[in-house]
Amino acid sequence: MSMWKVTCRKLTLTFIVTIIINLFTLSICQDLTRCNNNANFSINSPYQRNLNDALSSLTADTSIRYGFYNQSLGQNPDQVNVIGLCRGDVEPDDCRSCLNNSITTIRERCPNQKSATIWFEYCMLRYSNVTLLRNLDTTVGEFLINPNNASNMEQFNQRLDQLLDQLRDDASTGGSLRKYASNSTNGPTFITIYGIMQCTPDLSENQCYNCLDAAIRQIPNCCQGKRGARVLFPSCNLRYEDNKFFNDTVVIASPAPTPPSSSSSGNSSNTTIIVVIAVVASVVSLVILVVVLVCVFKRRKGNQKQQRSPPENLVYEEGDMDEISTADSLQYSFGIIRMATNDFSENNKLGQGGFGLVYKGKLQNGQDIAVKRLSRDSGQGEQEFKNEVLLLARLQHRNLVRLLGFSLEGSERLLMYEFVENSSLDQFIFDPRKRGNLDWDRRYKIIGGIARGLLYLHEDSRLKIIHRDLKASNVLLDAQMNPKIADFGMARLFQQEETQGNTSRIVGTYGYMAPEYAMHGQFSVKSDVFSFGVLILEIITGQKNHTFQNGGVIEDLLSHAWRSWRDGTVASLIDPTLCGSSIRDTIRCVHIGLLCVQEDVNDRPTMASVVLMLSSVSLTLPIPSEPAFFVRSTTNPEKPLFEEYTSSTSDLSSQVKSR
Ligand SMILES: *[C@@H]1O[C@H](CO)[C@@H](O)[C@H](O)[C@H]1NC(C)=O
Ligand SMILES: *[C@@H]1O[C@H](CO)[C@@H](O)[C@H](O)[C@H]1NC(C)=O
Ligand SMILES: *[C@@H]1O[C@H](CO)[C@@H](O)[C@H](O)[C@H]1NC(C)=O
Ligand SMILES: *[C@@H]1O[C@H](CO)[C@@H](O)[C@H](O)[C@H]1NC(C)=O
Ligand SMILES: *[C@@H]1O[C@H](CO)[C@@H](O)[C@H](O)[C@H]1NC(C)=O
Ligand SMILES: *[C@@H]1O[C@H](CO)[C@@H](O)[C@H](O)[C@H]1NC(C)=O
Ligand SMILES: *[C@@H]1O[C@H](CO)[C@@H](O)[C@H](O)[C@H]1NC(C)=O
Ligand SMILES: *[C@@H]1O[C@H](CO)[C@@H](O)[C@H](O)[C@H]1NC(C)=O
Ligand SMILES: *[C@@H]1O[C@H](CO)[C@@H](O)[C@H](O)[C@H]1NC(C)=O
Ligand SMILES: *[C@@H]1O[C@H](CO)[C@@H](O)[C@H](O)[C@H]1NC(C)=O
């Protein structure tokens, strides 16, 4: 009993600490990356060499003090163009080190893309095979918002618009070395609105004006009424806040960087009045401040006792231009979803997932949805649940099932997803007749899609999500038979996710589980890689989980795959309906699958390498050694999720065959 309490406390504490760390990281790491996936270079290509050279020499010229760097190296078609731009108030040394950081980060996040853009708080960097200088680019946009609403929105917007218009004019006329402007204006209720705008200085005045104008026009779509926002284009950006976030001194020796301290009407006869107003205003704001502080403090104390509610004012949210940004816009009433699913009728039931029943539904606007009715209380408070859902909803990738919304009423927790037409992968690959619909090209694309979805979860999304239950029935197929991973991030909804750790609570499905996870509860991105390896082998063989039917003999899929590999009889593994397809590609996939199921975690590739291996046939693969064999002797390999195996870990270890 008391042990439970202690554990509970510990968990709660970890939870709070992690949330706070998360929030903190979100607010200070305001960086965003856009990798352009339309064109890639291959390893050791001339393009890569040019890129590395261009990046490393970008900031070499230390005489540049105006914060704009450009570099072009190589000849078409391998020419690389790079530009780096620092915010106008950043000192040259800080500028160079910001750009150095951005170079390191962008190469990690966009390892093989020919063009990419990264925005940091103090600088931005772009590279591409096309000429960048003097070319206006507003094709991709990103934004970051402070999710808090401005009070007195109408007046706020009016003042903001005036400020932004003025900044646009000032920045675009800035000259050929710097197109940057900062200023402030008085907003409603004693606040001051601060803003900056900047273009890359190579643009013409006209181009800069148009770019900033486009950025301003985004505000109603992304950031209406928010107290702070950044709109980021490759060629220009803007930012406003209700606190001072920039330095007045613009680094370059340009005419009189004015102290922008709020409003100043310089009429001497007004001065006394202004002083009086100012004094009254300061006293009033002081009183308000004290009151607010007391309130906040009291509420904190109350909250700690009951429900931990993370501080929200510092959170920055990021997104594409048309993205939802608050939990409210995602929340649906229980009634609406009940109606959409015909009161969760038996006819609408799509199946039983690991976390509850799934129903098909239709919203009143005609949109098809899939609704998951969560089976068990997650033990999370409402606010945490909302936060988690919001984070998951922001994970958007072609190969992930999109979370559209949620409902939370009493103990009912529903998740609403896009409806994916062609059910799940297991319905195809394990069905002797339907299997024929999936030729090798299709299967190869499915494997690649799953790999990219998983890579996004592991690396490209800010959250670093470990799926922990990847399997054929969690891969859905859309109308064009593109794979979409479902049920990702569920672990976050039920317990705080960590990037790596030990857990006594094992979730997952036997047959797909990495041995270190099944036995010791140790999970990491590499345990997902293991499940992915099993999945590849299943897709190629068309055989279910770990039981491989070879004539009359039943043995587990992994050991059979390994033996065929070792004996050079891989062709016998392959699903007979695939005959006539490229044997070489298929064997290469088996090879990759075997690498993913290596017993030693360090021998398994990351998903980034897997994606690379799948896309470049010329890449030499390491030789796999004997994989981990994990066989569960009891009859039901499809164990339900969230069983607690703490007490039986020793039991499990004994089921691991080691040969
Ligand atoms: C380029 O590589 C990325 C992964 O690094 C991949 O998502 C994308 O599809 C690739 N694009 C092309 C055209 O191959
Ligand atoms: C603003 O100026 C101060 C003092 O010079 C400096 O410490 C700080 O780093 C500057 N901030 C930025 C963003 O450059
Ligand atoms: C940035 O990197 C370049 C080349 O790697 C190096 O010469 C320079 O000293 C670095 N600058 C800073 C400020 O870190
Ligand atoms: C840039 O790369 C893309 C894709 O490889 C290619 O279509 C385009 O022609 C290239 N542009 C230049 C200027 O080399
Ligand atoms: C912000 O305002 C919108 C409507 O203008 C409202 O729906 C939303 O609840 C508000 N959000 C916050 C955090 O106050
Ligand atoms: C680009 O860089 C070169 C040398 O590195 C410099 O001479 C040129 O002025 C730069 N162009 C712009 C627009 O800054
Ligand atoms: C800031 O705005 C005020 C009022 O519009 C203007 O008079 C002032 O020149 C601006 N300052 C700068 C540095 O542009
Ligand atoms: C997938 O779904 C689409 C649309 O519902 C359908 O036309 C197509 O035949 C399905 N494909 C397979 C292989 O069942
Ligand atoms: C997990 O547990 C193992 C031993 O049980 C220990 O060696 C390891 O350091 C632990 N890892 C973490 C992240 O706690
Ligand atoms: C795993 O294989 C066994 C034996 O072929 C089968 O009975 C069981 O239903 C399979 N489970 C899944 C989830 O495919």
Inter-helix orientation angle 607-615/583-596, to 10°: 170
Mean pLDDT to the nearest integer, 267-273: 36
* Residue 202, pLDDT above cutoff 90: yes
Q: pLDDT band for 108, please (50, 70, 90 cuts).
A: very high
DSSP-derived secondary structure letter, 512: T
Q: Rounded to 5 degrees, what are φ and ψ at 3?
A: -65, -40
Domains along the chain with CATH numbers: 31-128 (3.30.430.20), 140-250 (3.30.430.20), 310-419 (3.30.200.20), 422-658 (1.10.510.10)
The stretches of 265-346 forming alpha helices (DSSP H) are 271-306, 334-340
Compute the distance between CA of residue 641 and CA of residue 654 in angstroms, rounded to an integer: 21
| Whether residue 345 has pLDDT greater than 80 | yes
* Ligand approaching nearest to the C-alpha of 77: 4
- pLDDT of 569 reads 85
Nearest CA to ligand 1 atom 5: 112
What's the rounded mean pLDDT across residues 593-617?
A: 91
Question: Which amino acid is located at 385 in the chain?
Answer: F
629 vs 442: which has the higher pLDDT: 442
Predicted pLDDT at 619: 82
The segment with the largest mean pLDDT, out of 34-38, 266-270, 415-419, is 415-419
Task: Enumerate the β-bridge partners of residue 417.
Answer: 370, 403
Give, using CA atoms, the residue closest to atom 2 of ligand 7. 183
- For residues 139 and 655, the model is more confident at 139
Alpha helices per DSSP H over 321-397? 334-340, 382-393
- The reply to whether 170 belongs to the active site is no
| The pLDDT of residue 465 | 86
Pocket of ligand 9 contains residue 502 by CB under 6 Å? yes
Confidence check: pLDDT of 646 > 80: no
SS3 331: strand
Tell which one of 368, 419, 422, 446 to mutate to probe ligand 8, the residue whose CB is within 8 A of the most ligand atoms. 422
- Which pLDDT score is estimated for 450? 97
Give the C-alpha separation, 54 to 73, whole Å. 6
Give the binding-site residues of ligand 2, using a 6 Å CB cut-off.
89-91, 94, 122, 247
Q: In the numeric block, which tokens belong to residue 386?
A: 């909302």
The one catalytic residue among 89, 137, 202, 469:
469
- Greatest mean pLDDT range, 304-313, 460-469, 565-574, 624-633: 565-574
Tokens 């970051």 found at: 144
CA-wise closest residue to 500 among 509, 491, 488, 510: 491
Q: What is the pLDDT of residues 169-183, one digit of tens each?
A: 999 999 999 999 999
Ligand nearest to the CA of 448: 1
Query: What is the reported pTM?
Result: 0.47
Nearest of 245, 260, 249 to residue 185 by alpha carbon: 260
pLDDT band at 442 (very low <50, low <70, confident <90, very high): very high
Residues present in the chain in total? 659
Residue type, 4: W
What per-residue confidence (pLDDT) applies to 560? 82
Residue by residue, DSSP assigns 425-470 as HHHHHT-TTGGGG--HHHHHHHHHHHHHHHHIIIIISTT----S--
What CA–CA distance (Å, rounded) separates 68 from 537? 51
Q: Is 611 in the pocket of ligand 1 (CB under 6 A)?
A: yes
In 150-292 the beta strands, taken as DSSP E runs, fall at 179-186, 192-199, 226-232, 236-241
Q: Report the amino acid identity of residue 255.
A: P
Q: What angle do CA 241, 246, 250 make, to 5 degrees?
A: 140
Whole-number pLDDT of residue 252:
60
Rg of the chain over all Cα atoms, to the nearest angstrom: 28
Task: List pLDDT tens digits, range 126-173.
Answer: 999 999 999 988 777 788 888 778 888 888 998 999 999 999 999 999
3-state secondary structure 298-311: HHHHHHHHHCCCCC
477-527 confidence digits (pLDDT tens): 999 999 999 988 777 776 545 555 656 555 666 667 777 777 777 778 899
- In whole angstroms, how far apart are CA 241 and each of 122, 151, 553? 15, 13, 69
Residue 502 Cα: closest atom of ligand 9: 1
Residue of 7 and 262 predicted with greater confidence: 7
Question: What's the rounded mean pLDDT across residues 330-349?
Answer: 89
pLDDT tier at 48, thresholds 50, 70, 90? very high
Pocket of ligand 3 (CB under 6 A): 56, 59, 93, 96-97, 100
* pLDDT value of position 565: 86
CA angle 128, 130, 132 (to 5 degrees): 80
**pLDDT above 70 for 324:** no
- Spacing, Cα 428 to ligand 6 middle (Å): 57
Task: Among 21-25, 311-315, 354-358, 406-410, name the most confident range.
Answer: 406-410
| pLDDT, position 464 | 81
Dist. CA 178 → ligand 1 center (Å)? 35
Query: CB within 8 A of 383, min separation 6: which ones?
Result: 307, 309, 310
Say which residue, 36 or 571, is predicted with more confidence: 36
**Residue 42 phi/psi, 5° resolution?**
-105, 165
Q: Residue 70: is it exposed, middle or buried by C-beta count within 10 angstroms (0-12/13-18/19+)? A: middle
Tell me how far apart the alpha carbons of residues 252 and 67 are, in angstroms, rounded to a whole number. Answer: 8
Interval 401-412 mean pLDDT: 88
Q: Which residues pair with 113 in a beta bridge?
A: 40
> 123 near 99, Cβ under 8 Å?
yes
Cβ neighbour number for residue 93 with a 10 Å cutoff: 9
Q: What confidence tier does 578 reach under pLDDT thresholds 50, 70, 90?
A: confident
pLDDT in tens, 68-103: 999 999 998 999 999 999 999 999 999 999 999 999
Task: Quote the mean pLDDT of the chain.
Answer: 77
